[in-house]
Structures are given as structure tokens and as C-alpha cells.
Chain A
């Protein structure tokens, strides 16, 4: 890898008055000495504060489990005092595992759970099974299989037994196993009591990135059951087969893992908006704001995996990860097309202990516009159904529905609109608003494999920028098929992909031009004035 890394003064941080906001924005945005650089004044920053829980990056996603965030993997026999301390905290769990292995043998076949007839009937001894790039396994602390991405859980109980054994062996020595690196594979372990998550990856990503993905899977499971219920179930019976409760939800986890490979939003802890003229978005937002109900907490309008608008109760913030879990629920279930959906859902970052109740429905049967109304009251279905009706009526009265539908049918925007030569693709995240924007994928990256490869490159840059011991401000990387440039400031994060003909000088000068363009387009690409009720 030919990497070119700078840590000295950043050349593009010049005072450029041209980054000043357009006229319709408030004046104080241009008063800042370095507009676009300080958090809250960068292009895309919301005017009235954040819409989401403030999220820098995945640090806050993993913070609760990584009290000691050194990035080293604890090898077997490693007696790092920090690890020992952590293991000591988790001590007293060894006995559990001993009985568990017996319990497992006893219970095999007793409680057979009908695994759905998905494409899971893969032979776990076959070469294709081995060659998958990302395996994810979830097991209980008693070593009972709960989820596998490929193959059936039954067939893998012995492999999961080995994982359990590895984990408890290291814990026995008052230590914690984080990962094993061997033969191009990374095996990453994550203990989130009462669950254990193990990922087997064939990738060059850092352990932190991989642990982040396991966290997503963990929260996906919590969102279905709540942490309270999860703990309760295993307190009553260590050897409980959690698949009984999760039956039918495997496709949600499958789809989440696919999203993790493709959607930069999950990587950046940010959400993408549907590009929409600000006047149209304002009408949609205010219509949604007007359709309120007593127990309504969040009203979210989605177009596929893009956000049209979000209205929230005053002082209540949604975490971007909870929103991604909602996205995933909607895009991976056809169930909501059949009528109005009404389902309990836990938003684990908001509160892992309880359920919200979500009214989920498409605005029209064939439309991609999906409305999610989140309430605290489980009897609220008809109230929310009425909210939706009022919202639709208002939209139609102001003839905003048409423009919304049109925006939906258009592709996002081509990168050529920016007018930077050799630029193929970029991802820009405004830190204060938690929103990001990105053009359509150009030709070479439209194929699934190439798409995932590009995301993999971004992911690699991301882990370089956010390296806990040696964070970088920017990085330029020449690869065989593209040149990449990434930078992070207190206000934004930017990832650029150039053709191999691009040069470093070009990349550095492109940043300014791109920021100007985003500033000019920001009221179309971002939600600048989020509403509350």
C-alpha cells in the first residue's frame, strides 16, 4: 500500500469568504472566522441544533463496553494488567460454562426450533461455507447457538462450543480475549452479557471496525426483545434457546450485515437525506409537525434508506443507530406493505429497557415513502393512524405530495454536478447535524462486489483517521484502481475517491471546491432546520 500521510498544517484551511452561507441562512453562520471548519458552521450543519444524539463517531457506540480502549488484541497468556482487571470484573462466570456443555447435549433435539426455509441450508463443511468473507455468530453464555449468518445453528453447535471454550479459557487466566489473527483471518470476540458475539472476518479492517459491526448485531437483537427481557430470560434459565423468541427475525440480522457492507451511514454514524428542494421539505416537515398526538415521540418519513424528514418531541433525541435499526426493519420487511403495521420496538440507544410502539406504513401501496410514527402508548394505534391521515391530507392540500414523488423518482445526483475533474465519488458528513451526503455511485462501483470494495476502502481510511492511539487529520492513499483522500476536522469528515489519474495536489484543492459546492447546495442536501412538536 502506498500511503502518504501528513500530520502538519493543513493547506486548505485558508480563510475563504466564499464558503459563506447563502442568503437565506442566518447571518451568524458567516461571522465565524473560519466558516465550514468549526463544528456547527460546516456545510450541512443544522441551524437549530442537532436532530440526533450527538455522535462523533463509533466511539460512543462502543464506549460502554470498551473501558480500556487499547487496540491490542489480548493474546492467550498475555498478562496485561488492564485486561486482568477487566477479566476480574467479569469473574465468576466460569462455573456456568462447565454445566453449559452438558446442558447443551441434553437439550439438543428437545426443543427443536423450526428454522425458516431461507438460503441457510448451506453445508457447513463445504468450501463455499468456509470462503464467506464475513461470518457472524451469536451464542448464549451457556454456549447455545443463537444466530449464524450462514448455515444452520444446529450444525454449528460444536464450533460455537469451541468459541465458548476459547473465551472461558482466557477468562480463566483472568484475562479477556479480544481477537485472534491468523492466516488472513480475524476472529473478533465481543461479550455483551448475556450474549456472546463472534465474528470471523477475511478482511484488513481493524478490530475496532469489526467490533463495531458486532455491536450493531447485538443492538439489533436488543431492539427486538429489550435488554430487560433478554436478561430475564437467561436469569430464569441459563440454557434457554433464544431462537424461540427470535424466530423469524434472522432476515433482519442478515440484512443489517449486508447494510454494514454497503451503507456508509453505518460506518460514519450518520444518516443520508433525500435531496429535496428546501421549500418542499419545509412543507413536508411542517405537515408532519402539525399531525401530532399526545404520546407521539418521533415522526420519521423515509424514502428507501434515505431520510426525508424527522420531527421529534421537544428535548427527545433519536440516536442515529436507532434510526438505522428502524431503516433496516423497514427495508427488510415486506410486511408493512400489506396494511398498517403496529409493532413494539425497543430503541436500544434511547432506552434498552422498554418498548416503544411504532406505526409503520407506506404512504401509498406502490410508493417508497414510508412513515414511521413512534409512540410510548401501546393502545395508540388508531390515534397514530389518524395522524397519518391528517398528514396526508395536509400534504395533498398543499400539493407537496407531487414534488415529493418526483424527487423520489430521480436519482440522487451525479458526481459530475460538482465539476471536479477525476473525482469519482465522495462521502461528506456534517458532524453537528449527524447527516451525510454522497452522490450516486458511478459506473465502476455499481456492481455489488465493487461497491463493497469501495466501502471497504472508505472503512480502512476511517479506521486510520480514528485510530485511538495515533489519530490522523488526513490521509492520501494511492491504490491500483483509485486514489483516495480522507480528512477530518472538528466540523466534518470527508472521503474522496479519485481516478488513478488524480494527483495529491488535485485532491487537496478539490476539497475547497467541494465544500463550496456543498455549501451552495446544502439546503437541498441536508435538513437545516429540524422541527419539534
Chain B
């Protein structure tokens, strides 16, 4: 039924205009669009395959709209997600508050979802240190507390962007490996049992 083979569902979350779409745009299309800000409508889905070691992992990335109007819908986007990239704007402290909200939401509803905190627009900080409103160490402490990874990225320069998604894919891959081995063993045994059940007892 599923149209494309997607290994891992990844969801982008965060306040509006923090740059979720730009991050995806940079990663998938390798470009940064300059121009008036355009908000995402609903959510956009893109699939992207990448190499992890000698394997290919396909990430299904859900770029969600940050607008409050879609909040009620956000559940359908992050349900079953293996990773959530929670974005905040390094130059906007209120966006980090919003990031905390999403983290809490995920902890409550999707405990198997790995969280990646991602501070965006780091190029602005490099140009002028005084515009930083979210302290690196504060976020690092928060990340340690919730067991999340922490990155600071710039979609404009491409800094750290690939690293975030690469890390997501690697984590998924190593995690999936464990899952698969376990399941294989159990699966075989189960099949045997059920086979005998069907033949002998009926």
C-alpha cells in the first residue's frame, strides 16, 4: 500500500519561521532560497536516500508547518516517527520555549522517537555575536537531560546540516540492526510453532 519504501520517518518540529523548510531544502536540494518568507502549508513530505556504511537508508522527512493553526494536526505527522528534529532559532529565545513544548509532547506521546535539537541560523551569530539569544550550554544541558543530540546549523552556509541527517540515519541504522536480529530469531521460532500447531493439532 505504501507508495515508496521508507525506512525511517523523521519529523521536523518547531516554531514558525525558525527555518525547518530551509533546513530540509538545503539537505535535500542543496540550495538556500533567498526571498520573502513563505510559510509551509500543512506539511510537506520528501524521501531522501543516504548511505550509512555500505547500506542505504531512506529517510521519509515530514516538514511540518509551525503555525499554531496546524497544531491539532501535528500528531498525525509525528506518530510513529523514529526521529524528531526539533528546531529553534538561535536568535529568538521564544522559539526555544516552543522547542521545549515539542520535546515534552514527544516524550508524552512518542517515547521511541529520538530527539535531535537543532539551533538554526548560526550564520547570523557568526556575523554578529550579540544577536544570540539562546545559550549553547543551556541547550547542551537540556539535551543531556532528555538524552537528545544537539546541533547548531546554518542552512545558508550548509554548516552542520548534513551532519544532523547523517546522525539521524546512523542512529536509526544501528538501532534497526538490533531490532532485526532480535526479530529474526523470534520469527523463525514462531513460524515453526504455528506450523506444527496447524498440522498436528487440527
Contacts and interface: CB of A to CB of B under 8 A. Distances in A.
A358 B43 CA distance: 11
A335 B41 contact: yes
A245 B68 contact: yes
Contacts, number: 96
Contact of A335 (B4, B28, B29, B44): B44
B37 A117 contact: yes
Given A339-B45, A381-B45, A386-B3, 6 more contacts: A329-B41, A339-B24, A340-B44, A341-B43, A342-B44, A343-B65
Contacts of A224: 69
B69 A385 contact: no
15 contacts: A116-B17, A117-B37, A246-B69, A247-B69, A248-B16, A248-B66, A335-B41, A338-B29, A341-B44, A342-B42, A344-B70, A382-B1, A382-B2, A385-B3, A385-B4
Contact of B63 (A225, A339, A378): A339
A123 B17 CA distance: 24
A389 B1 CA distance: 12
B42 A248 contact: no
A397 interface: no
A148 B158 CA distance: 37
B122 interface: no
B25 interface: yes
Interface in A217-249: 224-225, 244-249
A379 interface: yes
Nearest to B92: A114
Top-9 shortest CB links A-B: A343-B42, A248-B39, A339-B46, A386-B3, A339-B44, A385-B3, A340-B45, A245-B69, A248-B67
A11 interface: no
Given A245-B69, A379-B76, A385-B4, A338 B63 contact: yes
Contacts of B70: 343-344
B3 A382 contact: yes
Interface of B: 1-4, 16-17, 21, 24-25, 28-29, 36-46, 61, 63, 65-70, 73, 76
Interface residues of A, number: 37
Contacts of A345: 42
B3 A247 contact: no
Contact of B42 (A225, A247, A251, A344): A344
Interface in A384-441: 385-386, 388-389
B45 A342 contact: yes
A333 interface: yes
Contacts of B1: 382-383, 386
A335 B36 contact: no
A340 B65 contact: no
B43 A343 contact: yes
A336 B69 contact: no
Contacts of A244: 68
A333 B2 contact: no
A334 interface: yes
Interface string A326-359: 0001000111101111111100000000000010
Interface string A109-130: 0000010111000000000000
A247 B38 CA distance: 11
B38 A251 contact: yes
Nearest to A248: B39
A118 B76 CA distance: 31
Nearest to B44: A339
A246 to B, nearest CB: 7
B72 to A, nearest CB: 9
Nearest to A384: B3
A333 B41 CA distance: 8
A343 B61 CA distance: 15
A225 B67 CA distance: 12
Nearest to B33: A334
Interface in A476-531: none
A389 B42 contact: no
